[in-house]
Amino acid sequence: MLFSIEPKSRREDLYDFDHELGMLIKFLRGSRLTLVTGLRRTGKTSLMRVALNEAGVDYVYVDVRLSLYANYRDVVELFIGAINDFLRRRSSIVDRIINAFKKR
């Protein structure tokens, strides 16, 4: 849906970011650190999510937008959710982790 307020995850939903998307994918594949900066509500999250889906790199996506009254448990749950999402996307990595623990 092109005009929804939710961040996009698919290229066909991303509007007018072809150059930026190409550059971001290039940097994600070849750089150790990449920053995406810009004004609020300009598409940074959508750009990052689409690039991560298309770059073919392993990643853990942590959305750190928390409430003003976030506590330690909220932060821990945020990271647990991010790791679980990563493991769901990369089941082969789950197998590698299990095998690594079995070898010890």
Measured in whole angstroms, how far is the alpha carbon of residue 4 from the centre of its chain? Answer: 19
Q: Assess whether 72 and 53 both reside in one domain.
A: no
Q: CA 59, CA 52: separation in Å to the nearest integer?
A: 8
Q: Assess whether 30 and 71 both reside in one domain.
A: no
Task: Specify the residue for token string 């909220």.
Answer: 74
Q: Assess whether 33 and 83 both reside in one domain.
A: no
Q: Assess whether 4 and 38 both reside in one domain.
A: yes
In this predicted model, which residue has the larger pLDDT, 54 or 69? 54
Q: Assess whether 25 and 43 both reside in one domain.
A: yes
This model's pTM is above 0.75: no
Q: Assess whether 2 and 50 both reside in one domain.
A: yes
Query: pLDDT of 7-46, one tens digit each?
Result: 888 888 888 899 999 999 999 999 988 889 999 889 999 9
Per-residue pLDDT at 104? 59
Q: CA 68, CA 21: separation in Å to the nearest integer?
A: 32
The gap between the terminal CA atoms of the chain, to the nearest Å, is 48
Q: Assess whether 30 and 53 both reside in one domain.
A: yes
Domain extent at residue 75: 59-104
Q: Assess whether 34 and 67 both reside in one domain.
A: no
Q: Assess whether 42 and 85 both reside in one domain.
A: no
Q: Assess whether 53 and 78 both reside in one domain.
A: no
CA distances to 8, 24, 25, 80 from 36, in Å: 16, 8, 12, 24
**What is the number of domains present in the chain?**
2
